[in-house]
Chains A and B, each alone.
Chain A
Amino acid sequence: MATTPILKLSGISKSFPGVKALDGAQLELYPGEVTALVGENGAGKSTLVKIITGIYQPDAGEMQLDGKPLVLHSPEEAFAAGITAIYQETVLFDDLSVAENIFLGHEPRRARGTLIDWPAMYARTRELLAELEINLDPQTILKNLSIAQRHIVGIARALSIDARIVIMDEPTAALSRHEIEDLYGIVRGLTAAGKAILFITHKFDEIFAICQRYAVFRDGRFIGDGLIEDVDQDKLVSMMVGRNVAQIYPKRPVKLGEIVLEVDRLSHPTEFEDISFSLRKGEILGFYGLVGAGRSEVMQALFGITHPSRGSIRLEGRELSITSPRDAVRAGIVYVPEDRGKQGAILPLPIVENISLPQLDRISRRGFVDMAAEFVLARQYGERLQVKAASWSDPVDTLSGGNQQKVVIGKWLATQPKVIILDEPTKGIDIGAKAAVHDFTVELAEQGLAVIMVSSELPEVIGMADRIAVMHEGHIRHIFSREEATPEAIVTAATGATPAPISQAALHRAAFA
């Protein structure tokens, strides 16, 4: 095995407003070896990738290529240094041909660089594809290819610049079993050619199948690295999740009331299947899963944005037919979406108008808005959530992310709902606002509201929820009680690494516990 790394990162830090995405990160990539980059959502993996590929510039720290300092100002410079990335959703051009996609930006030229040398480009493409042992016409338009074939085009692009460092960001996420085997073959071929590969995945079987090294990140910090042969799955999981959970969360035991919401075998043609759970008054039900597990889709179905194909939703014993958010709000189910700026708040409008929006009818008399009542409402809920603003008439986009989120939550609380769904309520907001949202969530539960809290942050769900539903690939794998909810068990369920699937009957029992 190689002993000197091609690429070495040390002390890399990167902050965004309110968030420290990376704090003193380090990473080493070796020629001819695959290094697995492991960590939860929000651990800082994608920020790290963006720094290596020149999209972000680090605030501090150093990168070395072959022992020489490397400073990247743009993706083009990373490209020139032989670093390339193949993303989860391949960023290629659907309407261009295979050859054009591979050579975009560095096409073979003729006539003193003024014209593209098409015959040379096609010939080089054929060579590259032959190396990868794939039979594709260089002139095929990309949108006619399967996702697996597109990945291979992405890899061919990496080879075309003679990249020495190839980053693969969850390359198998959308591939079938058979296609994954083909990809492994290609990865082995690349390492045999001496390339260093950074492989990002959530699937442990892949880590053990093709990686030689690992590096674990948690909350923007480097936790540890080493050789795969020296670790097992349990060790990796415990490094990923850490042990210091549930100490800073304000969760207090609440006496649960009667069942408010029952969801039975809710299914969607493409996003999720057989989702069953119940929710009691005063309960906080956590929904954990990896990105793309289908959590938001389930929540949006409860809120009438997407339409389930079958299954039932019952609120206080009555079966509901929810075809629009309007129906959901009327029934008493409200949703604080993940994407604050696009879905949650109407940013250019004043705080007061955002808060009153879902219930204009209630503060209007014969259609006329009672503006005094509107300000009372805004003050009541704005102050309760401790929104910080210069005035209630300020546009929401002048507030910080945390205060924007408080406005969105306030707008829904003002409707006095029975069930509130919080989708990643603390994503991208600072620590202080996070604590305020947590405090508030607990307070709501104590007052008898039923809360669903979707979160990709393990400490958050473990610290806040009474029970935790873990989703994987559109299914609820298990619903954990507070006692059985260990970080290891949850991560295992979320990554689909459970040895034997839990029986439907057991799942049903857990759902209606």
Chain B
Amino acid sequence: MQSSQQITIDRPAASRAGGIPDRLPQRPTDLLLRWEVLLLIFLALVVLINVQLSPFFFDPYNLSDATFNFTEKAIVALPMTLLIIAGDIDLSVASIIALASTAMGAAAVAGASTAVLLVLGPLVGLACGILNGWLVTAFSVPAIIVTIGTMSLYRGICYIALGDQAYKNYPDGFDFFGQGYVFWVFSFEFCLFIVLAVIFGVVLHRTSFGRRVYAIGNNPTAALFSGIDVQRYRLVLFALVGLFSGLASVLLTSRLGSTRPNIATAWELEIITMVVLGGVNINGGSGTVPGVFIAAFVMGFLTFGMGLLNIPGIVMTVLIGFLLILAIALPVVIRKLTSARRRSA
């Protein structure tokens, strides 16, 4: 088409005089009320409390330890962010982690090398994700129903394979991915998470792929009517979530050095809490990767601090639940406040 030139000829730096501007200047209060900013303030608060609790909190090795309890979940939260923005959800991620881990354990027993395991884990995850996506798109079943089903299915296979046993014999060198450091106190896991977060942020906020994800999440019908292959996009997103669950499984299995069928139990809730706390609308359509990135640290440092206080796991679950409800309720309250303010202005 000849039109591609037509689009690039006229490119004034700012809008023409009297014309409609590209953007309106932002008011400082709007910026302050951004979810990411509120999260940062909350994160500072959490860090402050941690410092009060332990004088060693800012010790680099201590901080590095603190990251281990959330990076694997945060890695799954990245593709989950895209999936939830697109209006779907995957509750089977923890079971995918378990199934991928079980597959790797069985392969290791059969004599597979570290390289084979590195390929196998993500591959099993990818297959699980594709199955989820296929079931959701081919039969028009809500994702929440399908993934509740596959959550039991994938976990059930682990129990059948393992019973009360565990796989423990992983090959030499496999432990690096969950326990090794790239340099100084920066673990392999943590560095991987940072790189992936940047990639996912760029994909969601800078590419046409990301644009279409937002379009689908806001209005799948209008997205279809705009020439977007909605079903294929949904399938790809489920596959991505599966793939990265498989990757998280490699990290977790490597870190623990063993696989039991109850591995990563209830992680799906923490992962989804992370995403929602990050400001992603659970109904789809809005949310950012930076928000989820900050939320990962909030959740990580919060549970780490509670660990220092010897708060029992069950109480932590209560607090995580409370956080999830807060994260869903607060944006609604803020929206009401700001719209009331705008009306009175």
Contact = CB atoms under 8 A, between A and B. Distances in A.
Interface stretch (B45-53, B183-191, B209-217): B209-217
A389 B20 contact: yes
Q: How large is the interface on B (under 10, 10 to 19, 20 to 34, 35 or more residues)?
A: 35 or more
Contacts of B207: 364, 367-369
Contacts of A347: 218-219
A377 B1 contact: no
B211 A372 contact: no
B227 A363 contact: no
A348 interface: yes
A257 to B, nearest CB: 18
Interface string B216-233: 001101111111110000
Contact of A335 (B4, B206, B225): B225
A451 B128 CA distance: 47
Nearest to B222: A346
B19 A416 contact: no
Interface string A361-383: 11110011100110111011011
A360 interface: yes
Interface in B84-126: none
Contact of A337 (B209, B223, B225): B225
B3 interface: yes
B23 A393 contact: yes
Interface string A299-342: 00001010000000000000000001110111000010100001
Interface in B208-258: 208-209, 211-212, 214-215, 218-219, 221-229
Interface stretch (A140-148, A351-359, A490-498): A351-359
A349 B215 contact: yes
B207 to A, nearest CB: 5
A416 B22 contact: no
Contact of A416 (B1, B219, B222): B1
Interface in B256-300: 285-286
B165 interface: no
B11 A376 contact: yes
Contacts of A393: 22-24
Given A343-B222, A344-B225, A349 B7 contact: no
A392 interface: yes
A361 B7 CA distance: 13
A362 B7 CA distance: 10
Contacts of A411: 226
Interface string B295-307: 0000000000000
B21 A392 contact: yes
A343 B286 contact: no
Contacts of B164: none
B172 interface: no
B23 A343 contact: no
B206 A372 contact: no
Contact of B286 (A348, A377, A382): A348
B10 interface: yes
Nearest to A327: B227
Contact of A391 (B22, B206, B214, B223): B22
A39 B132 CA distance: 52
Most chain A CB atoms below 10 A, which of B20, B224, B229: B20
A390 interface: yes
A383 B15 CA distance: 12
Interface residues of A, number: 49
B227 A326 contact: yes
B20 A342 contact: no
B20 A349 contact: no
A376 B10 CA distance: 7
Contact of A363 (B7, B214, B221, B286): B7
Nearest to A324: B229
A5 B8 CA distance: 69
B298 to A, nearest CB: 26
A360 B24 contact: no
Nearest to A387: B20
B225 to A, nearest CB: 5
Contacts of A375: 22
Given A305-B225, A335-B225, A392-B20, A348 B7 contact: no
Contacts of A326: 227-229
Contact of B215 (A346, A363, A377, A380): A346
Contacts of B7: 362-363, 373, 376-377, 380
B10 A369 contact: no
A507 B170 CA distance: 77
B219 A342 contact: yes
A357 B229 CA distance: 12
Interface in B122-174: none
A335 B23 CA distance: 29
Interface in B49-71: none
B225 A390 contact: no
Contacts of B226: 325, 346, 357-358, 411
A345 interface: yes
A360 B229 contact: no
A511 to B, nearest CB: 27
B293 to A, nearest CB: 20
Contacts of A349: 214-215, 218
A379 B19 contact: yes
B225 A343 contact: yes
A327 to B, nearest CB: 9
A392 B221 contact: no
A357 B24 contact: no
A376 B11 CA distance: 6
Interface string B324-344: 000000000000000000000
A390 B24 contact: yes
A342 to B, nearest CB: 6
A119 B187 CA distance: 76
A466 to B, nearest CB: 26
B20 A369 contact: no
B20 to A, nearest CB: 6
A329 B225 CA distance: 10
A358 B211 contact: no
Contacts of A303: 225
A119 B224 CA distance: 52
Contacts of B8: 373, 376
Nearest to A334: B227
A356 B207 CA distance: 12
A389 B21 CA distance: 9
A389 B11 CA distance: 20
Interface in B8-31: 8, 10-11, 15, 19-24
A303 B224 CA distance: 11
B174 to A, nearest CB: 34
Interface of B: 1, 3-4, 7-8, 10-11, 15, 19-24, 206-209, 211-212, 214-215, 218-219, 221-229, 285-286
Given A360-B211, A391-B22, 11 more contacts: A324-B229, A344-B222, A344-B225, A347-B218, A347-B219, A357-B212, A369-B211, A373-B11, A379-B15, A392-B22, A393-B22
21 contacts: A303-B225, A305-B224, A325-B224, A329-B227, A343-B225, A352-B22, A356-B211, A357-B226, A358-B226, A358-B227, A360-B212, A362-B1, A362-B3, A362-B7, A364-B207, A367-B207, A368-B208, A369-B206, A373-B8, A376-B8, A393-B23
Interface of A: 303, 305, 324-326, 328-330, 335, 337, 342-349, 352-353, 356-358, 360-364, 367-369, 372-373, 375-377, 379-380, 382-383, 387, 389-394, 411, 416
